[in-house]
Amino acid sequence: MPPLLRVSDLKTYYFGFRGSRVVKAVDGVSFSLEAGETFGLVGESGCGKTTTCHSLVRLLSPSARVVGGRIELNGEDLLTKRPAEMTAIRGRRIATILQDPMASLDPLFSIYSQVAEPAYYHRGLRGRALRRKVKELLTAVRIPSPESRMRELPHQMSGGMRQRIVGAIAQAGGPQLIIADEPTTNLDVTIQLQYLNLLKDLQRASGVALIFVTHNLGIVAKMCDRVAVMYAGKIVELQSVRGLFYDPQHPYTRALLDSIPKLGVREPLYIIPGQPPDLSNLPLGCSFHPRCARAMDRCRAEEPPDVQLDGRGTARCWLAVAEGRG
């Protein structure tokens, strides 16, 4: 049986006026996802993680185009689907949760009509059955007194409640995969914990797979089964979450882990020198080499291949080649 989602060698570029500038936002990304799995996509701003997600649901801005690769959902290629077919997939099979709950809820429609919409179109529910479904969904995301709350408007909800309602909307079509793009960035820490626990519970109950896009490695440690670390449009390391935290293979992953302050420890932080590269003008060879503490001559000239680490994952680094791992 094919995996739930398989992305192979995905390339999404942004094109400037008449092709004057090409930004390789996603440049050869491959990963796959099994049903019920939680997959983390980590990286700093501008590394291409959001563009990857937008490519999956084909909601790219007009200046961006998928120029290569395949995206297969249950073995069907999404890139060859017609727009109408994609509309039937979005919400029904792949749902998304975005960062800012206020921007993803329409301020003029009641909570009821917004949660009901996917269930109306994708499940064909009507009348009393639809009402029951909405109530069930709101109860599942722990909205107190859902009967009266669903008549209200988004501005009457707190930030945490709004994000939970977005979670209910994502569940409403009964998807197999939810893409959560930094869903807790705007929430307070205690509310963030509530929300992450809620997502875990929902996942356990419905068996939905999750792609978690974040720059917060703590969220990855808490939520994910497998993680991909992105840098300059490429996945530089893909591993199980334990493997990544205990034995990171790529120098960028190691540097990221060392640059985070830890509770109750006052050691100096590791500082990654320099700035993330300009995606329209990438350095020759490995894109990370100007900032890498262990860069060799080869890194400056040749781009490293994706090295298989004996069944555990992959790393895109000459060191992994040199040390004969894999």
- Note the residues at the interface with other proteins (CB under 8 A): 44-45, 158, 160-161, 188-194, 197, 215-219, 221-222, 241-242, 245-246, 255-256, 259-266, 268-272, 275-276
Closest to other proteins by CB, 95 or 224: 224
Shortest spacing between CB 272 and other proteins, in angstroms: 4
Closest to other proteins by CB, 3 or 276: 276
Backbone Cα Rg of the chain? 21
Sheet with 22-33: list strands edge to edge: 22-33, 5-15, 64-73, 76-77
Closest to other proteins by CB, 159 or 174: 159
Closest to other proteins by CB, 84 or 271: 271
How far is residue 182 from each of residues 112, 213, 216, measured CA to CA in Å? Answer: 25, 5, 9
Shortest spacing between CB 192 and other proteins, in angstroms: 7
Shortest spacing between CB 180 and other proteins, in angstroms: 15
Name the DSSP letter for residue 90.
B
Task: Tell me if 119 sits within 8 A of 150, measured CB to CB.
Answer: no
Q: For 74-77, which contacts have Cβ atoms below 8 Å and span 24 or more sequence positions?
A: 74/2, 74/4, 74/176, 75/2
Sheet with 234-240: list strands edge to edge: 94-97, 177-181, 209-214, 38-42, 226-231, 234-240, 313-315, 307-309
Closest to other proteins by CB, 170 or 272: 272
Shortest spacing between CB 140 and other proteins, in angstroms: 16
Shortest spacing between CB 254 and other proteins, in angstroms: 12
